[in-house]
Amino acid sequence: MSVGQDLADEAARYASMGWMRGTSGNLSVVLDRDPLRLAVTASGLDKGELTADDHVEVDAHGEPLGPGVPSAEAGLHARIAAVSGAGAVVHVHALAPVLAAERWPGGVQLADLEMLKGFGRQAHGDLVTIPVIPNGQDMRVLGDAFERGYRADTPALIVARHGSYVWGADLRQARHRLECLEWLLRFILETGRGA
C-alpha cells in the first residue's frame, strides 16, 4: 500500500469518529530524515474522502516540495517529527483533549489508569503530564512551545482551544496512542478525577 493510501485510510477512520469534522485535522508520515521530508494531507479537503493522491511532500519547515497545498500545520508536524524522531504525526479535533486543556491549562495530569500502558507508561505510580500550549497561527511559535514542553516519554500535545497532536513510529502506533489519549481524557473529565 502507498503512503498516500495509508494517509487517506487513516483520515477516513478519524473522520468517521467525528475527530476530523469538515476539513479539519491532518496527518503526516516521514518519508526521509536526511534531509527531513514528510507526506502531509492536503489542505481544504474532506478528510473522509481523501484519495491516495491527496497529500503533499514538505520539507523540515513544512514548505511544499512539489504541487499542492499542505495543511497549514505542516510546519508543526515537521518540528514534532524532527524533535521526537516520530515516523508519523496525527492531528485531530476530538473534543475531549480541548475540554481537558480548558480545565487544566498548565498541563493535563494522568495517573493510575491502565490505559497509560498505551503510551508505553506504567499503569500505576507513574505521573504523566500531557503538555498544553496556547493556540496560534505561527507554526514556529507553536513549535517552540512544543519543544519547551517536550518529554521523550509523552507522545502527545494539546493545543488549547484547537486540538491534539499524537505521534508514533508509524500511523498505526500514533492511532493507538491517540485512542488511548482520548479514552484517558474522557475518563478524567467525566469522573472529575484528574491527577
Tell me the C-alpha distance between 110 and 101, whole Å.
Answer: 13
Q: Spell out the residues 6+ positions from residue 32 whose beta carbon is closer than 8 angstroms to its own.
A: none
* Per-residue model confidence (pLDDT) at position 192: 82
Strands of 88-92's sheet in order across: 55-58, 36-41, 26-33, 88-92, 163-168, 156-159, 132-133
Whole-number pLDDT of residue 81: 98
pLDDT of residue 195: 53
The total of other beta-carbon atoms located within 10 Å of residue 111's CB is 18
CB atoms closer than 10 angstroms to residue 85: 12
The CATH code belonging to domain 3-191 is 3.40.225.10
Cell of 13: 477512520
pTM confidence score: 0.94
- pLDDT per residue of the chain (195 residues) written in tens, 0 to 9: 799 999 999 999 999 999 999 899 999 999 999 999 999 999 999 999 999 999 999 999 999 998 999 988 999 999 999 999 999 999 999 999 999 999 999 999 999 999 999 988 988 889 999 999 999 999 999 999 999 999 999 999 999 999 999 999 999 999 999 999 999 999 999 998 765
Residue 190 has what pLDDT? 94
- Coil, strand or helix: which one is 172? helix
Q: Strand, coil or helix: what is 162?
A: coil
Q: Which residues contact 122 (CB under 8 A, 6 or more apart)?
A: 116
E strand or H helix that includes residue 78? helix 74-84
